[in-house]
Amino acid sequence: MTDPQTTAPVGPDPDLLYSEDEDALRAAVRSLLADRGDPATVLAGLEADRAFDPALWRALATEIGTAGLLVPERLGGAGASAREAAVVLEELGRSVAAVPYLTSAVVAVTALLGCPCDRPEVAAPLAALAEGSTVGVLALPLPTAPGGLPEPAVRADAGGVLTGRVTSVADAVAAELLLVWAQAPEGPALYAVDAAAEGVRTDTVTPLDLTRPLGHLAFDGARGTLLATGERARAAVERALLTGAGLLASEQLGVAEWCLTETVRYTAERTQFARPVGSFQALKHRMAALWLEVASARAAARNAADALATDSPDAAVAVAVAQAYCAPVAVRAAEECLQLHGGIGMTWEHPAHLFLKRAKSDELALGSPGRHRQALAGLVGLDAP
């Protein structure tokens, strides 16, 4: 199949629909989260100063088996794809659950898959992440975007001893395995480091989004295990960032869907002048406009997930489009939810603020919308003058 105007080969049309298996996975994850990770439960955990829910993570990662979705069966995983992982992230966005799925089961797993998986030092941690017995994170600042990989902030000597500091690492406080982008004597490299090892310190910080805690990582003589070097290491990290950004759009979609659904429900129940406020034309128009944006965000997020799942040559374009569009939609949906709930929406007791904070945090995670628009312009040859 070719493009009639350019005669360049193009791939099959993306499949934006959900399969029966994906619907079944959604039902299982949604049931678990409704029982043990709904927004009220998340809020109670934050009040108890518990940002990470280990029990919920074990149930999600191990009992349902979502931690290994992206890992091939021969390496101990489920052998699924980014499409299934996207469904999980949609549901996690709808509940703002405090679990490290994006950072561990998506970003860290993808980084390891880019390393030589036939080596035991790669296969063993990958299997541990796939079965959900270990939480891993890629030690890079949360705002790091695909194509924007910085020079390593950590240095490694010939013996694999690491020195340096990485700031604003998402879910660092929950991590047991750190994948560290470092500068080795022979060039850039990726190392695996035990988060509890001597010479590793994690300093917690208070982020805007309390459900996705941040930490500053300091390495002072910590010993790492070499996973990959040179272009292999760089490609593994870049693919992890691209996959993370693409599937983050599905989480943003879930945030927006919850906000829209909750706003419609609330405005149908709240009355003013003896009428439901949702019947007022001005509010109808606002919610209808938001519904159109959420529907468009679903198409963009599904396109990115499908492109990653099929390893499409246009995956980078699909991810840039999804992030440039879905991030602002999630923020707008959360802002509308907060405002249209009136006074109660401004309180700590109502979970609306959790979704606004997650949406604002996600807007900066793995590249801002502006950064992705800039990347998109370069990818499609529409650079600004």
For residue 384, the model assigns a pLDDT of 61
- Give dist(CA 21, CA 383) in Å, integer: 41
pLDDT tens readout for residues 225-238: 999 999 999 999 99
pLDDT band, residue 270 (cuts 50/70/90): confident
The DSSP-derived string for 320-356 is HHHHHHHHHHHHHHHHHHHHHTGGGGGSSSSTHHHHH
Q: What are phi and psi of 155, to 5 degrees?
A: -110, 145
Task: Give the residue with greater pLDDT, 298 vs 48.
Answer: 298
Q: Check whether 249 has a pLDDT greater than 90.
A: yes
For residue 3, the model assigns a pLDDT of 53
For residue 11, the model assigns a pLDDT of 63
pLDDT band, residue 82 (cuts 50/70/90): very high
The DSSP bridge partners found for residue 276 are 271
pLDDT band, residue 7 (cuts 50/70/90): very low
For residue 10, the model assigns a pLDDT of 60
Q: What are phi and psi of 165, to 5 degrees?
A: -145, 135
- Give dist(CA 193, CA 69) in Å, integer: 23
Q: Check whether 338 has a pLDDT greater than 60.
A: yes
Q: Check whether 2 has a pLDDT greater than 50.
A: no
pLDDT tens readout for residues 190-206: 999 999 999 999 999 98
Is the CB of residue 239 less than 8 Å from the CB of residue 114? yes
Give the pair of three-digit tokens for residue 149: 């990989």
pLDDT tens readout for residues 134-180: 999 999 999 999 998 999 999 999 999 999 999 999 999 999 999 99
| Nearest by Cα to 26 from 302, 237, 268 | 302
- Conformation bin of residue 192: beta by default, left when phi > 0, alpha when psi is -120 to 50: beta
Averaged pLDDT for residues 52-64: 93
pLDDT band, residue 343 (cuts 50/70/90): confident
pLDDT tens readout for residues 98-141: 999 999 999 999 999 999 999 999 999 999 999 999 999 999 99
Q: Check whether 260 has a pLDDT greater than 70.
A: yes
Averaged pLDDT for residues 273-277: 78
Residue partners of 5: CB distance under 8 A and separation at least 6: none
Q: Check whether 1 has a pLDDT greater than 60.
A: no
Averaged pLDDT for residues 290-302: 97
For all residues of the chain together, what is the average pLDDT? 93
pLDDT band, residue 239 (cuts 50/70/90): very high
User: Looking at the whole model, is its pTM more than 0.85?
Assistant: yes
